[in-house]
Structure 1
Amino acid sequence: MCDASNVTGIVDRLEARGLVRREPDPSDRRVKNVVATDEGRETIRRVRAEMQATHTALDALGEEERTALYGLLELLRDGLRPGA
């Protein structure tokens, strides 16, 4: 759901951090494939593990606790918005 220039910027930043590399497509020289590096794959693995741990921790909360937490997070998010 991004336009091409936005995707290019995202890939540029990921490439600068060593998380992906661009490779020419063997069947169409106009196309570049974006491939995760070893560091990129490790980052994906780590983020997924952290997300799973977070979901597991949130599942331990009761309904009232989750409601309170989400309300507090909304307040924090509102305070982090520019101009807030």
Structure 2
Amino acid sequence: MPMRGLATLLVCDASNVTGIVDRLEPGAWCAASPTPSDRRVKNVVATDEGRETIRRVRAEMQATHTALDALGEEERTALYGLLELLRDGLRPGA
């Protein structure tokens, strides 16, 4: 997919996608290469490593959702309150 198309999909500026891809390429999660018909346009492709990482993250997210579904309403409310406290403590300057 061209970087500009990826920016549209992610609802962000194309320069943000360039920065993201620049950080993902060294980890071998994606590869960007010029389009043969227009070398100014770069296509981004997920590598096998990138697709495996996506699969693992999705599986972990699903496991987390499943675990949270086991909590009752009161337990979820208490957990979210505690997570808010932790998030506040993680903010810069907190």
User: For this pair of structures, how many residues does the alignment match?
Assistant: 84
Tell me the C-alpha RMSD between the 2 structures.
Answer: 1.1
Deviation at 1:25, TM superposition (A): 2.3
Of 47, 56, 68, 1:46 maps to 56
1:72 paired with 2:82, answer yes
Kindly indicate whether structure 1 or structure 2 has the higher relative contact order, using CA contacts under 8 Å at least 6 residues apart: 2
What letter corresponds to residue 59 of structure 1 in structure 2? D
Distance 1:23 1:13 in 2: 15
Worse-matched range after superposition: 36-45 or 2-11:
2-11
Identity of aligned residues (%): 88
Tell me which residue corresponds to 1:12.
Answer: 22
Tell me which residue corresponds to 2:91.
Answer: 81
Unaligned runs of 5+ in 1: none
1:36 paired with 2:82, answer no
What letter corresponds to residue 47 of structure 1 in structure 2? V
4+ residue segments displaced more than 6 Å? none
Deviations 1:8-58 (A, max 9, x none): 111100111110001222443321111000100000000000000000000
Unaligned runs of 5+ in 2: 1-10
Distance 2:62 2:37 in 1: 38
SS state of the match for residue 6, structure 1?
A: helix
Output the TM-score relative to the length of structure 2: 0.83
Tell me which residue corresponds to 2:31.
Answer: 21
